[in-house]
Amino acid sequence: MIPFSPPRIDERIINEVADALRSGWITTGPKTKLFEKKIANYCNVSNVLAVNSWTTGAELLLYWFGIKEGDEVIVPVYTYCASANIVIHRGAKVIMVDVTSDFGIDISKIEKHITSKTKAIIPVDVGGLPVQFDELTALVNKPKIKDKFNPQSENQEKLGRIMILSDAAHSFGAKYNGLNVGSEVDFTVFSFHAVKNLTTAEGGAICINLPKPFDNTEIYKQLNTLSLHGQNKDALAKTQKGSWEYDVIDAGFKCNMTDILASIGLVEFDRYELDTLPKRKHIFDTYSKELYKYDWAITPTCKDEKRESSYHLYLLRIKGITLEIRNQIIQDVFEQEVSVNVHYKPLPLLSYYKLLGYEINNYPNAKSLWENEISLPVYYDLSVENVNAIIKAVVNAVESNI
Ligand SMILES: Cc1ncc(COP(=O)(O)O)c(C=O)c1O
């Protein structure tokens, strides 16, 4: 069976992890701090905080911004549940917005959902294609929208508008206006979960990019403290002579990255731009070149004047099929020993959100994307033979069902 997305674990990774273990320092320490610096440099921001998942990092930011019960946060309907669950964890309300045909939030539909309760927008770079950040930034800065903003915490007062927290779980290394994403909006959060382009097994990173009068280095310190229970000294600092005593200044989270995870990340990072990304792009290009020949295939957008994908998920769509046929095609592809997947089942189709009253028919684009989408395997060790076998299996399965 050709798997969907196994991680690239080789001797280099194993040796680096062994090095972390042997060093005697296994929690947050020098490797994590080096990893943060490398990501900050790559993403054109002054400060990056490494955390133990996208989910905890993003929730920490909602907490930092003072989001609470009674607030509203705008989230695209077509995403992984994490983008919305963090809002629920904070007691706030998820306001879902439909998406466009490239899977990103439909920015033209956001404004009508903004109220005086709106505190944040969480756009998602689905599959690795960045959303149109310029349009989003222009939207939250519109005088009419800023006037509606009703700040209820010190940080909300200071920002003076809706916060944009980019769910970049898929888009590490994607380009926007020629730069690696990370410096477009207030916060950009990556995921380094096992299936992601760059993995640390579990993990994530927050790019801090707040406008003035915020001091991003100061915000890094605040978030770092909040990621360690609000404890004002980390484990490394406490080992220094005479530094055992610490204080707790907030009921913080516990979501720091460990040096064992960072050691995987450092190897992954080193080979990311020149090895991992070109390989993934090549797989995408081969799929598109071959599938483009069939008039039933809608191949994913990977590049336009402003944006280039990180080539994370190959989101193939089959023209004009029903959900039943899509499911049968998936079954038939699996029968040919190829694993495929679907990204995503829109949130209103999931029991928890359905029970809260969200209704899929209010999001026609998401419904139609979901009904005809199939994600194909993309990973570093996928051979040319495997890519050809996958294409053959998909073509067979589609042509025998439409
Ligand atoms: C779009 C999106 N957002 C958030 C997450 C959550 O990431 P993590 O598992 O690192 O918490 C994922 C994970 O798959 C995701 O796909």
Q: What is the widest separation between alpha-carbon atoms in the chain?
A: 73
* Closest atom of ligand 1 relative to the 195 alpha carbon: 14
Q: What is the pLDDT of residue 233?
A: 84
Give the residues across from 318 on adjacent strands: 297
CA nearest neighbour of 189 among 209, 204, 174, 173: 204
Q: How confident is the model at residue 396 (pLDDT cuts 50, 70, 90)?
A: very high
Q: How confident is the model at residue 203 (pLDDT cuts 50, 70, 90)?
A: very high
* Closest atom of ligand 1 relative to the 191 alpha carbon: 10
Distance 213 CA to ligand 1 centre (A): 30
Q: Going by CA atoms, what residue is nearest to atom 1 of ligand 1?
A: 80
pTM exceeding the 0.75 threshold for the entire prediction: yes
Q: Over the stretch 13-30, which tens digit does the pLDDT of each residue have?
A: 999 999 999 999 999 999
Q: What is the pLDDT of residue 158?
A: 98
Ligand 1 pocket: which residues have CB below 6 Å?
A: 53-55, 79-80, 82-83, 124, 167, 169-170, 191, 193, 204
Distance 83 CA to ligand 1 centre (A): 7
Q: What is the pLDDT of residue 193?
A: 98
Strand, coil or helix: 156 = helix
Show the CA angle centred on residue 90, arms to residues 49 and 214, nearest 5°. 40
C-alpha separations of 212 from 48, 136, 155, 209 in Å: 17, 19, 12, 10
Distance 246 CA to ligand 1 centre (A): 33
Q: Over the stretch 126-161, which tens digit does the pLDDT of each residue have?
A: 999 999 999 999 999 999 999 999 999 999 999 999
C-alpha separations of 77 from 10, 80, 122 in Å: 37, 9, 11
* Closest atom of ligand 1 relative to the 55 alpha carbon: 11
Which of 122, 193, 200 for a ligand 1 pocket mutation test, highest count of atoms within 8 Å of Cβ?
Answer: 193
213 upstream amide cis, omega within 30 of 0: yes
Domains detected in the chain: 11-269 (3.40.640.10), 273-399 (3.90.1150.10)
Of the CA atoms within 13 Å of residue 274, those in its CB half-sphere come to: 3
Q: How confident is the model at residue 242 (pLDDT cuts 50, 70, 90)?
A: confident
Q: Over the stretch 245-262, which tens digit does the pLDDT of each residue have?
A: 899 999 999 999 999 999
DSSP label of 109: G
Q: How confident is the model at residue 344 (pLDDT cuts 50, 70, 90)?
A: very high
Distance 392 CA to ligand 1 centre (A): 30
Looking at residue 254, its amino acid is K
Q: Mean pLDDT for the chain? A: 97
Distance 168 CA to ligand 1 centre (A): 9
